[in-house]
Amino acid sequence: MKLVKIFIGLLVVIMVLYFLLQNTRLVTVDLIFVEFPNAPVSVVMLGSLGVGILFGYAAAVAIIISGKSEIRLLKNKNKKLSDELNDLRNVSIEESIYDNDGNN
C-alpha cells in the first residue's frame, strides 16, 4: 500500500510540474501592499498552492487539537460520574427503612 501511495504522489508531482511548465506567461501580481511586475504564472500558481496548503494544514491542526481537548474533558467527566455512581452503589442501606415500610 505504501508503494501505491508513493507512486500516486510521484504521478501527481509530475502532472503538476508539466502543468506549471506549460504556463510561462508573465503577469503582474498586485497584492494589497506589494506589486510584483512580470511574475510567471507558474510561480504565482505554485505560491498560491503553497499558501493554500499551509492554511489547510493549520485549520486541520486546530480542529484536531480542539477535538482532543473535548475528548479529554469528556473522559474526565465520565470518570467523575463513574466514581460517583460507584460511591452511591456502595452506600450502606439502613435496615430501619425496611422495618417501617412493612408496618403501614
- Mind listing the pLDDT tens digit for each residue in 47-89? 888 999 999 999 999 999 999 999 999 999 999 999 988 888 8
In a domain, 46, yes or no: yes
Helical segments of 23-104, H only: 41-89, 96-102
Range of the domain at 62: 2-90
Which of 31, 58, 63 is CA-nearest to residue 47?
31
Report field, pTM of the whole predicted structure over 0.85: no
Q: Is 50 part of any domain?
A: yes
What are the two backbone dihedrals, phi and then psi, of residue 90, each rounded to the nearest 5 degrees?
-90, 0
Q: Is residue 18 part of a domain?
A: yes
Greater pLDDT, 4 or 93: 4
Question: How many angstroms separate the CA atoms of 84 and 81, rounded?
Answer: 5
Q: Does residue 96 form part of some domain?
A: no
Number of structural domains found in the chain: 1
93 pLDDT higher than 80: no
For CA atoms 66, 72, 78, 83, give the dihedral sign.
negative
Percentage, residues of the chain above pLDDT 70:
88
